[in-house]
Amino acid sequence: MSGLDLSISPGERVLLLGASGAGKSTLIHALAGVLGGEDEGEQQGQLLVAGRPAEQSRGRVGLVLQDPDSQVILAKVGDDVAFGCENLGVARDEIWRRVHESLTSVGLNLPLDHPTNQLSGGQKQRLALAGVLAMRPGLVLLDEPTANLDPDGVTEVRDAVGSILTDTLSTFIVIEHRVDVWLELVDRVIVLEPGGGVLADGTPREVLTRHGASLAASGVWVPGRTPAAPQRVPFESTQLVLASDLTIGRRGMPIQAHLDIALSSGRSLAVTGPNGAGKTTLGLTLAGLLPPVSGTLDASGLARGLPPAPIAWKSRDLVSRIGSVFQDPEHQFVTGSVREELAVGPRAAKVAPAEIARRVDEVSSRLRLDRLLAVNPFTLSGGEKRRLSVATALVSAPPLLVLDEPTFGQDARTWAELVQLLAELLNAGRSIVSITHDAAFVDAIADDELRITRQLVSA
Amino acid sequence: MSAQGARVVKKGTRGVPDTPVAQRARVAPILRINPVAKLATAVVVGVALLLSLDPVSAGAALACELVLCPWAGVDIRRFLVRGSPILIGALLAGLTIALYGKASGAVYLQFLFAHVTDGSLGLAGATVLRILAIGVPALVLFLTIDPTDLADGLAQTLRLPSRFVLGALAALRLASLFVDDWRSLELARRARGISDRGRLRRLASQAFALLVLSIRRGSKLATAMEARGFGGETKRTWARESRFGAPEILLILIGFAVASIAIVAAIAAGTWRFAGGF
């Protein structure tokens, strides 16, 4: 990004928008003074925080990042909040006073020695916020703080920010592509132009009325501009998988029991429910990756000559029968380029090289990855990684797809593309299981919904 | 009252609602001792027992340690589970020496290179005792060390650089995510169609993927730490005081006492051989 002129005054609450790649995160990191040295990029012009260069403002500016797991620093809640104060050289008595105060103001009423690894995503983000508040910053920066959270977590964090605004904190800048989450709390919206400069700057109402359409087109979730639901055509379906009295779990420890599920071609099942209820475990079991604890999982409709239980299939047989898309795409990448990544599945299934090349071309252009074929998967953006992980499953043409949180943290554009693509697959007779928290996604493509609750089985 | 107990009580009086003061007060006193003192004690006992290879010093030390165990704050099941590698290792070492150790005296059994004799049995017994005598206190003391307390001790008592100590502490927390990552990587490889053949190659590529994930997570963590002022110019303060007082000195003195009893017993019994010399 370049050529940006911007001034933010004390007391302003700013929502920073822009298409992905417009430099929102870079600006926020620069303001926090953690952009890195000269070896990591070039810098021109001036960035002053309270009249001083931003690099000197570390600690006076608080930063909360997107990933809850990589922000927890210490093992106990109290120690984690105290960490920033220690670095600023605050006296011991004052540190514990602030720790107590900050935890209260973000609503984390937990013992100080509560283990941080037992916190939910929303609690971890509030912990990070408390750690930042304890440093008494003049400015707090929030870099997509709710993108990795389920709906309850989003509300928790937003409410925590809302409640500190009234007493301790006056100025903050938040990046978020879901506008509706922050609309009530901000009084200024700035839209960055890709490449540099400011596209729009004003009150939320002004900016959203004037630029709503173009913002929505660039991927921002603008309230009232939900992407249109795709067309579905009825399909005469046959049963592919039947689970009867299924108990699922890990390493023999049951999480859910007595599940009866039928999956059919051309139909889409959404699995919903709270975190920890076993949704991901169910997905992995249906996908033939985890053995059922008990009960039967009969995938005769997919087996084509193999035994009915998918856990008994070889990995190379599985890939052309059931496609899995994990919640974290990075867990699934096994090669150094997008092209290689797409070829892995078909090659394992012994598809002819010419046919592999054809499929790679087709799937990559369908998912807008054709310009990225030489790129390393780990360096892609969040939306591109998601598209690639879906593409790697599609390229083996499995009749059943199991998707874990396919729309998590995606901008409106990627979301709409995914939903459109999945609808086409359903129209063509594929079966889709999606584990999701996303109500709009369920509305858009689910034929059936399986809501599982936190009903732990007594062993 | 030791340092940390005092800290908890003080925090409690500041009105933190759920601080489990009562729970903390019940824990064994050894849990509140500065980990640096525990390290020192384990070193004292270990070094003393490495000076000679006789059965009496090791036996005497082990006897003292077992008498002290009830005060060590470790429940027996956890001790046996975590200590099983030491126990098994000690027995295997003993068996090897019994079969192949320096032969002398009456021969009980002979087979190819193996011969069980008076001399090899004695040596085997001494070795088992010695491994246990060094292993038991080390295990008991380490089982009761909290990593955060250790970091506080290393930085405040031993004055090691805080950047290094806290960096290592934060990295240690990330290590707990390794297991979950590894499991996901394994399942993902099955889902991608590549987990049937080349087990070694697959493990290597999976290990590499784990390394990549860890480095990325580590660099994010480093950013989060920097954003909280870590590594800045300001002189750091410590929220938790790592104190080195009477309980710590007492523990180290107990270590010296065990070491002395062992050495004196061996000298009195006439079995003391400095550095294993015969």
Q: What is the pLDDT of residue A263?
A: 95
| Nearest Cα residue in chain B from A311 | B190
Using a CB-CB cut-off of 8 Å, the residues of chain B touching A89 are: 234-237
Using a CB-CB cut-off of 8 Å, the residues of chain B touching A85 are: 237, 239
Q: How far apart are CA B42 and CA B138, in angstroms?
A: 5
Cβ atoms within 10 Å, residue A205: 10
Q: What is the pLDDT of residue B278?
A: 44
Identify the band that residue A459 occupies on the pLDDT scale cut at 50, 70 and 90.
Answer: very low
DSSP-derived 3-state class of residue A257: strand
pLDDT 10s digits, A224-253: 887 777 888 887 889 999 999 999 998 888
Residue range A306-310: mean pLDDT, rounded? 94
Q: What is the pLDDT of residue B27?
A: 57
Radius of gyration of chain A (CA): 24
The DSSP secondary-structure symbol of A388 reads H
Question: Which CATH number is A13-217 given?
Answer: 3.40.50.300
CA distance A131 to chain B (A): 8
Question: Where is B89: in which H helix or E strand?
Answer: helix B76-100
B209, A334: Cβ pair inside 8 Å?
Answer: yes
Same CATH topology for A13-217 and A239-451: the answer is yes
Identify the band that residue B276 occupies on the pLDDT scale cut at 50, 70 and 90.
Answer: low
- Highest mean pLDDT among A21-35, A132-146, A444-458 belongs to A132-146
B196, A290: Cβ pair inside 8 Å?
Answer: no
Name residues 302-361 of chain A within 8 A of B (Cβ).
314-316, 318-320, 322-324, 326, 328, 330-334, 344-345, 348-349
Residue A239's DSSP bridge partners are A264
Question: What global pTM score does this model have?
Answer: 0.81
Residue A338 has pLDDT above 90, yes or no: yes
Q: What is the pLDDT of residue A124?
A: 93
Residue A89's Cβ-count burial label (10 Å; 0-12, 13-18, 19+) is middle
Using a CB-CB cut-off of 8 Å, the residues of chain B touching A131 are: 228
A316, B227: Cβ pair inside 8 Å?
Answer: no
From the list A59, A331, A396, the residue facing B185 with the nearest CB is A331
pLDDT 10s digits, A259-290: 999 999 999 999 998 877 889 999 999 999 99
Using a CB-CB cut-off of 8 Å, the residues of chain A touching B176 are: 117
pLDDT 10s digits, A371-409: 999 999 988 888 889 999 999 999 999 999 999 999 887
Residue A83 has pLDDT above 70, yes or no: yes
Using a CB-CB cut-off of 8 Å, the residues of chain A touching B181 are: 331
A59, B229: Cβ pair inside 8 Å?
Answer: yes
Q: What share of chain A is helix, strand, coil (3-state, %, to 5)?
A: 40, 20, 40
A72, B176: Cβ pair inside 8 Å?
Answer: no
The mean predicted confidence, pLDDT, of chain B is 82
Residue B238 tokens, joined: 């410590």
pLDDT 10s digits, A145-181: 988 788 888 898 999 988 888 766 678 999 988 888 8
Q: What is the pLDDT of residue A37?
A: 58
What ipTM describes this predicted complex?
A: 0.84
From the list B170, B192, B232, the residue facing A334 with the nearest CB is B192
The DSSP secondary-structure symbol of A193 reads P
Cβ atoms within 10 Å, residue A93: 11
Q: What is the pLDDT of residue A41?
A: 65
Residue A365's Cβ-count burial label (10 Å; 0-12, 13-18, 19+) is exposed
pLDDT 10s digits, A177-206: 888 889 989 999 998 887 778 888 999 999
Q: How far apart are CA A361 and CA A425, in angstroms?
A: 18
- Cα B225–Cα B229–Cα B234 angle in degrees, nearest 5: 140
Q: Which CATH number fits domain A239-451: 3.40.50.300, 3.40.190.10, 3.40.605.10, 3.40.50.970?
A: 3.40.50.300
Residue B43 has pLDDT above 90, yes or no: yes
pLDDT 10s digits, B8-30: 333 333 333 333 333 444 556 77
DSSP-derived 3-state class of residue A240: strand
Pick from A437-451, B61-75, B180-194, B242-256: least confident: B61-75
The mean predicted confidence, pLDDT, of chain A is 88
Residue A299 has pLDDT above 50, yes or no: yes
| Domain spans, chain A | 13-217, 239-451
- Cα A71–Cα A77–Cα A80 angle in degrees, nearest 5: 50
pLDDT 10s digits, B157-171: 999 999 899 999 988
How far CA B258 is from CA of A17, A218, A261, A414, B250, in Å, comes to 68, 73, 65, 68, 12
From the list B176, B192, B236, the residue facing A332 with the nearest CB is B192
Q: What is the pLDDT of residue B4?
A: 37
Q: Is the dihedral of CA B130, B133, B136, B138 positive or negative?
A: negative
Residue A85 has pLDDT above 50, yes or no: yes
Residue range B204-214: mean pLDDT, rounded? 89
Residue B69 has pLDDT above 90, yes or no: no
Identify the band that residue A42 occupies on the pLDDT scale cut at 50, 70 and 90.
Answer: low
Residue range A205-222: mean pLDDT, rounded? 87
Name residues 130-149 of chain A within 8 A of B (Cβ).
131-132, 135
Pick from A39-53, A97-111, A398-412, B172-186: least confident: A39-53
pLDDT 10s digits, B122-174: 888 888 998 999 998 888 888 888 889 999 999 999 999 998 999 999 888 88
Residue A325 has pLDDT above 70, yes or no: yes
| Nearest Cα residue in chain B from A65 | B224
* Spatial strand order in the sheet of A172-175: A61-64, A139-143, A172-175, A13-17, A188-192, A198-202
Q: What is the pLDDT of residue A170?
A: 73
Pick from A266-275, A292-301, A341-350, B103-112: least confident: B103-112
